[in-house]
Amino acid sequence: MIFKNAAVYNNGKFRQMDLTLNVGNAGVGSNFNNAYVFPAFCDVHVHFREPGFFYKETIKSGSLAAAHGGYTDVCTMPNLNPVPDNIDNIKKQIDIIERDSVIRIHPYAAITVGERGEELTDMASLATYCIAFSDDGRGVQSEELMRRAMTEAKRLGKVIAAHCEDNSLLRGGYIHDGEYARLHGHRGICSESEWRPIERDLRLAKETGCKYHVCHVSCKESVELIRRAKADGVDVTCETAPHYLVFSDNDLEESGRFKMNPPIRSEEDRLALIQGLRDGTIDMIATDHAPHSEEEKSRGLERSLMGVVGLETAFPVLYTRLVKPGLITLERLTELMAINPRRRFDLPPTEDICVYDLGEEFTIDPNDFMSMGRSTPFEGMKVFGKNLITVCGGKAVWNSQEN
């Protein structure tokens, strides 16, 4: 595959050069005049559902979805069955990964046994097998338990990646506690349920010296707390997701494809997140790719399960909605999707690439997904940026001429 005058990312800049890829299909791609060559993306927050929930997604289908989206490294969250809270359980997951994945998958281990928030796992024994520790899907409610987890993570040199949610403030909510909820009679989730535990954890991270990472930041208060903590020297990073950057609760519809946790919040929150990307407060973008079955997502806003897919739409959506309007540069988006995630989670440098044609416009159609999940708020959106090829370890794991 030959790309004439491609824009290749190198040392923080895109430079024009010819590129020949001797992998996979050897077809000639000289007509791809808008080809951009990126370091392959890295997503530190995905749910591949196996073992335990393979009717939603498998390691194989999830890894193919990642390759389609340009990702060659992903980190899988531990809300599985069995939960990877001991060596035997995490090895079961690793065995499936080694057998079925077309990319590199790095599993999280649970902070607490069964993700129940009652007893710490044997973090020392798990550290060799996991990328970091998280109870994602549930917040660690106990301050003392989180302090102990951070202290041990500091000793082990591991990141604590926190799902920040105060259960006492949820009050049965399932979308943002905003105008849409009030107008349509839905129970809302207040922003304080997110920022209050972040405030607590930032204090604990400063106390313990732990490497602390905040998952799926969605509201303006969280951004400001993290901004101040960074200025105060706390070792904190954070992620947000494409749906929080593109939508506000003004865009909600009575459909399960708009339901995730945390919820899509207000326009003021969305703008604060974009400012966080621009000033460096937000370090990376993760998709929180969380597939469910069609039936589980067909029950409307109130009764559908929380979670949407995102690996196959992230780059074109973000390029179209953030880069093309000039809100951030293409170089900054590359940092957010490829450079910073690997750096924070101590993943080794890679020569993996993905090649996008930024001139091709298409309409997002879930029927084109490799993921078993089809529920996305981006369905029907017109976007620019088609992935031509993803190369992982010298092998083409996605090739638009073959797939």
Q: What is the mean pLDDT of residues 320-328?
A: 99
Say if residue 264's pLDDT is above 60.
Answer: yes
Residue partners of 317: CB distance under 8 A and separation at least 6: 242, 246, 364, 378, 381, 383
Contacts of residue 57, defined as CB under 8 A and 6 or more positions apart, other chains included, come to: 47, 48, 49, 50, 291, 371, 372, 373
Residue 71, strand partner residues? 41
CB atoms closer than 10 angstroms to residue 16: 9
Q: What are 117-166's pLDDT values in tens digits?
A: 999 999 999 999 999 999 999 999 999 999 999 999 999 999 999 999 99
**CATH superfamily entry for domain 40-350:** Metal-dependent hydrolases (3.20.20.140)
- Residue 337 above 70 pLDDT? yes
Q: What is the pLDDT of residue 26?
A: 41
pLDDT confidence of residue 4: 83
Q: Determine how β-strand 211-214 pairs with β-strand 236-240.
A: parallel
Nearest of 377, 99, 344 to residue 212 by alpha carbon: 344
Q: For all residues of the chain together, what is the average pLDDT? A: 96
Q: Please state, as a whole number, how many other Cβ atoms lie within 10 Å of the Cβ of residue 116.
A: 12
210: which 2 tokens? 């732990």
- Whether residue 363 contacts residue 396, with contact meaning beta carbons closer than 8 Å, is answered with no
Q: Rounded CA gap, 248 and 169, in Å?
A: 21
pLDDT number for residue 31? 53
Residues 50 and 96 sit within 8 Å (Cβ to Cβ):
yes
Check if 288 is active-site. Answer: yes
Tell me whether strands 382-392 and 353-363 are parallel, antiparallel or unpaired: antiparallel
What are the two backbone dihedrals, phi and then psi, of residue 75, each rounded to the nearest 5 degrees?
A: -115, 125
pLDDT score, position 24 = 57
**Helix or strand or coil: residue 46?**
strand
The whole-number pLDDT of residue 402 equals 86
Q: Can you list the positions of beta strands (E) in 52-189? A: 71-76, 104-107, 159-162, 175-176, 188-189
Catalytic residue among 288, 346, 357, 365: 288
Query: Quick check: helix, strand or coil at residue 244?
Result: helix
User: How confident is the model at residue 3, as a pLDDT?
Assistant: 82
Q: How far apart are CA 112 and CA 68, in angstroms?
A: 33
> What are the residues whose beta carbons fall under 8 Å from the beta carbon of 16, sequence distance 6 or more?
5, 6, 7, 8
CB 107, CB 51: distance < 8 Å: no
